[in-house]
Amino acid sequence: MINFRSNRFSRSFSKLAHGGKAPPPKKDSRSISDIKWELRPGGMLVQKRDADQHAADGLITIRVSALSHWHDISIQSTSTFGELKMVLSLVTSLEPGEQRLLFRGKERDDEEHLHMVGVREKDKVLLLQDPAIKEKKLLAMAAPCPTITV
Helix then strand count (H, E) for the chain reads 4, 7
The Cβ-side half-sphere exposure at 127, using a 13 Å CA radius, reads 28
pLDDT 10s digits, 21-34: 666 666 655 566 67
The residues spanned by each domain of the chain are 59-139
Buried b (16+ CB within 10 A) or exposed e, 119-141: beeeeebbbbbeeeeeeeeeeee
Q: What is the pLDDT of residue 5?
A: 47
Model confidence, pTM: 0.56
Residue 36 has pLDDT above 90, yes or no: no
Residue 51 has pLDDT above 70, yes or no: no
pLDDT 10s digits, 58-109: 889 999 998 888 999 999 989 999 999 999 999 888 889 889 999 999 999 9
Residue 125: C-alpha distances to residues 32, 49, 55, 83, 132 (Å): 38, 24, 20, 14, 21
Asked if 73 and 86 count as a contact pair (C-beta separation under 8 A), the reply is no
Domain 59-139 - what CATH class?
A: alpha beta
Report phi then psi at 103, rounded to 5. Answer: -135, 125
